[in-house]
Amino acid sequence: MITKGIIEPISSVFVNLVNADFTAKQRGVRITEERIVLDGSPEAPLESIQVQIANVESKFASAISDTGEIRVEGRVKDGVPHLTRVGSFEVDVSLEGSIILCRQVDQPGMIGKVGSILGQENVNVSFMSVGRIAPRKQAVMAIGVDDQPSKQSLQRIGEIPAIEEFVFLKL
């Protein structure tokens, strides 16, 4: 299923669970899977998943690791998939609805500034998570929203001086 999600947006052919691996191989994508058994049982539920993709461009450069790979990690928590890492940043993001991901300088007032812009448009925030390397350094802020913000609101968020990049994801 992960392969399908990676290959489908970059393929001109219909990709499904049956042909995803073959289509990936045709495009020169090498897929390796490593399963680490923690409790000694091969039937144990999957605790977490890490996806690394090399030699591709990202719409959100913060997902790119120091080695030049796109790196994200996730897990299922209470039956809901969660994003737990974006590049070098740890987050806790429910993968439901729509999300605004912002890379920013960690400083006071960032949550309030973005929240105020969304509130002025009556866009409800369903959750918010910040992952940072260290205080007052780089951070990633993930904001779940119930409604899609207007292009103008997204533009205003992008114009906040401390925000270095952002992407709106509709899941």
Enumerate residues 6+ apart whose C-beta is below 8 A from 5.
Answer: none
Per-residue pLDDT band at 150 (split at 50, 70, 90): very high
30-88 pLDDT per residue, tens: 776 666 666 666 555 566 766 666 655 555 666 666 666 667 788 888 888 888 888 88
100-123 pLDDT per residue, tens: 989 899 999 999 999 999 999 999
Tell me, what's the pLDDT at 135?
A: 93
Question: Per-domain residue ranges for the chain?
Answer: 34-170
CATH architecture of residue range(s) 34-170: 2-Layer Sandwich (3.30)
Which amino acid, one-letter code, is at 23?
A: T
d(CA 106, CA 132): 7
Q: How close are the terminal C-alpha atoms of the chain, in Å?
A: 15
Nearest CA to 156 out of 108, 105, 121, 107 is that of: 121
Share of the chain above pLDDT 90, in %: 34
